[in-house]
Amino acid sequence: MAFVFKKQIFGFMDLLRFKKLVPKRREKLAEGSDAPLPKTYAVNETAKILHPGYQSAKLVSVEQNTADTKTYTFETEKPFYFRAGQYITVGCKIGESEVARPYAVSSAPKAALEKKVAVTVKKCGYFSGYLFDEAKVGDMFVLGDPSGEFCYEPVKDVPHIVALAGGSGITPFYSMAQAIADGTNDFRLTVFYGAKTEQEIIFKKELDALVSDKIKVIYVLSDEEKEGYEHGFIGADLLKKYVSGDFTVMMCGPAAMYAFADRELTAFALPLRRIKKEANCVGARDVEPKTWQLTVHIGFETFTVPADARETVLVAMERAGLKAPSKCRAGGCGFCHSKLLSGKFSLAGADKRRLADGKFGYIHPCCSYPDSDMELIVPKADLPEGM
């Protein structure tokens, strides 16, 4: 019931009305239910499903795709929802080090609702090499939340995605193709998939089986001439041969492919928002070897660990076995966001921090190289029990 107050000509009349308010309020409170409030609400439960956080997962299958690529399928504790094109972090303890890497999910979003998720990994670098050579069915890993914006956005994107994939960069597009085929997503997908040779193409059989009026795949070989394939690189002429009308470009592959594609795409005069690139992890830098001292505060504990000038601050913490949070390892997600107390650092590439982060002394350890001894406060990674 709404109370309507009328302003009295004499102020003291308002005071009389006010006097009645307290008993009226008591009366209303007495009418209310004394049942305890629910312990949880539907919206919180939904949020837990959408954002399960870190969870432990068992490796249930390993399938070799090419000479240097394997697909790893994990069974998760909880079902979760992700959008085709997103990535998850996969991590475990190797010796004394806590190691994790982000990988684009190659399975369909629907499979994750049944607690299955797969990543396809090319053998290169420390963790991917470990997975390739050592990981076996039954091993336990820690998976992070599905993350990233490398997805079809119906509000922003044209419903025709032209995908440029290089090598293992096909994985997010394979997930998208499956999502279109099973009705989870609704857009047209034209994939230009570049590889050196036919032998290096991942998921050829699977992609061919998904081809439809909505999904088209053009294979482009750079080092081999074969019937049924395009040859050379994915350039403007090739795009014009297969694509017409309006489209959004999404690319995933090595940095050299991005540089080449950027030049070729000028022929289409696309606005910047129509070109989306998946970020690559920051690697080591080419400088003289030198070891700095890193003082790290995590929760109520303080650690002092060595930091190699060639590697990022995040890698230094992981090598020392510290549980530092990370997701994209490319400066994009802000998950590793840490407060710098002292020391100098260099950024890998562009500064992707918010303006306020720079101003108030926050850094992203995943893309910062140490240039002196450093001291920082790092948030605690919320890992599952025992991991």
Smallest gap from residue 354 Cβ to ligand FES (A): 11
Min CB(143)–ligand FES separation in Å: 15
Q: How many residues bind ligand FES (CB under 6 A)?
A: 12
For residue 331, the minimal CB distance to ligand FES (Å) is 5
Beta-strand pair 374-378/338-342: antiparallel
Find the shortest distance in angstroms from Cβ 363 to ligand FES: 9
The smaller minimum CB distance to ligand FES, of residues 29 and 356, is found at: 356
Q: Which of 364, 370, 374, 383 binds ligand FES (CB under 6 A)?
A: 364
Taking the C-alpha atoms of residue 295 and residue 117, their distance in angstroms, rounded to an integer, is 37
Shortest distance, position 151 Cβ to ligand FES, whole Å:
17
Between 94 and 281, name the residue whose CB sits nearer to ligand FES. Answer: 281
Cβ neighbors of 355 (< 8 A, separation 6 or more) are none
Question: Contact 189/247 with Cβ under 8 angstroms?
Answer: no
**Nearest residue (CB) to ligand FES, 139 versus 351:** 351
Cβ-based nearer residue to ligand FES, 257 or 336: 336
- CB nearer to ligand FES: give 131 or 328: 328
Instruction: Give the nearest distance from C-beta 104 to ligand FES in angstroms.
Output: 15
- Distance between CA atoms of 191 and 20, rounded to whole angstroms? 72
Q: Cα(57)–Cα(286) distance, rounded to whole angstroms?
A: 35
For residues 115 and 339, which CB has a smaller minimum distance to ligand FES in the complex?
Answer: 339
Q: Please say which residue, 163 or 313, places its beta carbon nearer to ligand FES.
A: 313
Q: Is the dihedral of CA 122, 195, 286, 277 positive or negative?
A: negative
Residues 51-80 that bind ligand FES (CB under 6 A): none
Q: Where are the alpha helices (DSSP H) in 195-247?
A: 204-210, 236-242
| CB closer to ligand FES out of 70 and 353 | 353
Q: What kind and span of H or E run contains 48? A: helix 42-50
Q: Among residues 200 and 357, whose Cβ is nearest to ligand FES?
A: 357
For the window 215-254, what string marks contact with ligand FES as x by the rule CB under 6 A?
----------------------------------------
The 299-338 site mask, x for binding ligand FES (CB under 6 A), equals: ---------------------------xxxx-xxxxxx--
Distance in Å, CB of 169 to ligand FES, minimum? 19
Nearest-approach distance from CB 281 to ligand FES, in angstroms: 9
Least Å distance, CB 313 to ligand FES, is: 10
Minimum distance, C-beta of residue 325 to ligand FES, in the bound complex (Å): 7
Print the binding letters for residues 187-216 with ligand FES: x by CB under 6 A, - otherwise. ------------------------------
Burial of 38 (0-12, 13-18, 19+ CB in 10 A): exposed
Query: Across 230-385, where does the E strand assignment appear?
Result: 230-231, 248-252, 275-277, 291-298, 301-308, 338-342, 345-347, 362-363, 368-370, 374-378
User: Of 122 and 329, which has the nearer Cβ to ligand FES?
Assistant: 329
The structure tokens listed for 311 are 């590697």
Rule CB under 6 A: is residue 366 a binding residue for ligand FES?
yes
Which residues in 362-382 are b (16+ Cβ under 10 Å) and which e?
Answer: bbbbbbbbbeeebbbebeebe
CA separation (Å) from 41 to 33, 38, 145? 18, 7, 22
**Residue labelled with tokens 């001291």:** 375
Q: What is the DSSP letter of 347?
A: E
- State which amino acid sits at residue 328: C
- Name the site residues for ligand FES (rule: CB under 6 A): 326-329, 331-336, 364, 366
